[in-house]
Amino acid sequence: MTNIDIDKIRAQFPAIAKNSGPDAPVFFDNPGGTQVPQMVIDAITDCLINANANLGGHFTTTQKAGDIYEQAHLAMADFVNARSPQEIIFGQNMTTLTFHISRSIGHMFEDGDEIILTHMEHDANVSPWLMMARDHGLEVKWLPFDTETYEFDLDELDKLISDKTKLVCIGHASNMTGTINDVKDVCQRAHAAGALVYVDSVQYAPHGVIDVQELGCDFLICSPYKFFGPHMGVLWGRLDILNQLELYKVRPAGSESPDCFESGTLSHEAMAGVTATVNYFAWAGREIADEHYRTRYADTGNERRQLICAGMHALSDYELPMTKRLIEGLTEMPGVKVHGITSSNALARRVPTVSFTAEGFEPSDVSAKLAEQDIYVWDGHNYAIEPAGQLGLMDKGGVVRVGLAHYNTIDEVERALKAIAEHLTR
Ligand SMILES: Cc1ncc(COP(=O)(O)O)c(C=O)c1O
């Protein structure tokens, strides 16, 4: 197990630190949203006390709010390795931002053009594009995943791509199967045909280093509340493409990115929290990660980016043995099926979002039983209706979804496994 000081990590999170002992709540609901470190709460509070004003005035609080706005763009630019903070667009959440930008992107296409969606997506990376296709007369093609391996066969993608393909929308990691997709390869194949790629990184962002330049995508979107920050969405777009988009904005708003895409007044307090969230990963890179992680990212842009990468990498390495134990424990239980990659030597190809069903048991009963013991997990389709449909789980109550994060412990995994086993043998 990667040697990290887990007590030091847990002490950062008041929601975790306020309860201790064997009956403390177990936060395995992370795929739906994570707990927040004190430094994020402090930044939000500080903004509301000292910078609670709109942007663009001459007085102190408005100027402080302006600094918060600027710092948040710089922080997220470091988080995803953007070329410029102008490529960072803040919004309410991933879904709202995707609906918003899809309206602009749609104007790039013509009747008869094609887009490719996949059956592994959260619906926020499906419905906006279906509506865009409807509005602009586009044909939608679907990429299925292999229900044995829970991965895509990218030769199948090649078969779908044509000279009419304009856009491929793909999840970085699935919120149901947990699979991490080879986004870089998808981008290369799509770009060879002149198509753009829109990447949903919402499930990936809490668990891995994001480098939009290395991935080679055109858009990438994530939600800070899934990676230990406040409720917001953040879209990265390649500036040369953003500059070509049709704008849906009020007339007085600026016509340059990001201003032209960030409709109305944003939550400045949440933006302050997002900067602190990014700095939390940098803190982990400095205080938690071993030296070799920092050395590995020594040539990475600036110092904060280096520390973010080192921190994220160390934290995700710490997650691995917990994921392994959780999957092993579940697969050993009679009648239990994990819907995702289970092979212990392939765990690097998945995030620790683990979905399972148990023969003869309703997913909602299992999660309700766990809740009685203060073990928080999700059940149902969790808006992943495409994968739930492909796996034949839509009319069976979906799955039980256990999602780990780096502040969890192996003892919590054991507690959940014991509780699940007890319920299933009743
Ligand atoms: C993979 C994935 N994409 C998109 C979303 C939607 O995110 P938001 O709540 O920020 O709209 C989620 C939320 O669970 C998700 O897991």
In tens, the pLDDT along 161-200 reads 999 999 999 999 999 999 999 999 999 999 999 999 999 9
Is the bond into 321 cis (omega within 30 degrees of 0)?
A: no
Q: Give the residue ranges of the chain where pLDDT is below 50.
A: 1
For residue 129, how far is its CA from the centre of ligand 1 (angstroms)? 15
For residue 364, how far is its CA from the centre of ligand 1 (angstroms)? 21
For residue 268, tell me if it sits in a domain.
yes
CATH code: domain of residue 402? 3.90.1150.10
DSSP states along 197-219: EEEE-TTTTTTS---HHHHT-SE
Q: What is the pLDDT of residue 2?
A: 64
Q: What is the pLDDT of residue 20?
A: 84
Residues 265 and 328 in one domain: no
Instruction: Tell me, using a 6 A CB cutoff, whether residue 122 lines ligand 1.
Output: yes
For residue 293, tell me if it sits in a domain.
no
Residues 27 and 49 in one domain: no
Return the best residue to mutate from 97, 118, 226 for the ligand 1 pocket (most ligand atoms within 8 A of CB).
226
Residues 24 and 54 in one domain: no
Whether the Cβ atoms of residue 104 and residue 92 lie closer than 8 Å to each other: no
Q: What is the pLDDT of residue 301?
A: 78
331 CB neighbour count, 10 Å cutoff: 12
Residues 234 and 315 in one domain: no
For residue 266, how far is its CA from the centre of ligand 1 (angstroms)? 19
Residues 48 and 192 in one domain: yes
For residue 294, how far is its CA from the centre of ligand 1 (angstroms)? 30
Residues 245 and 201 in one domain: yes
Residues 27 and 129 in one domain: no
Instruction: Tell me, using a 6 A CB cutoff, whether residue 175 lines ligand 1.
Output: yes
Residues 45 and 27 in one domain: no
For residue 213, tell me if it sits in a domain.
yes
- Among 277, 298, 331, the domain boundary falls at 277
Nearest CA to ligand 1 atom 8: 94
What residues make up the domain containing 215?
A: 41-277
Identify the H or E element spanning 106.
none
For residue 292, how far is its CA from the centre of ligand 1 (angstroms)? 33
Residues 245 and 269 in one domain: yes
Residues 93 and 224 in one domain: yes
Residues 228 and 181 in one domain: yes
Whether the Cβ atoms of residue 173 and residue 403 lie closer than 8 Å to each other: no
Q: What is the pLDDT of residue 180?
A: 98
Q: What is the pLDDT of residue 156?
A: 98
pLDDT in tens, 397-406: 999 999 999 9
Q: Which atom of ligand 1 is nearest to the CA of 98?
A: 11
3-state secondary structure of 140: strand
**Pairwise CA distance, residues 175 & 177, whole Å:** 6
Residues 14 and 53 in one domain: no
Instruction: Tell me, using a 6 A CB cutoff, whether residue 127 lines ligand 1.
Output: no
- Among 277, 295, 320, the domain boundary falls at 277
Q: Count how many residues are written for the chain.
A: 426
Helix (H), strand (E) counts: the chain: 16, 13
Q: What is the pLDDT of residue 234?
A: 98
Number of domains within the chain: 2
Q: What is the pLDDT of residue 259?
A: 97
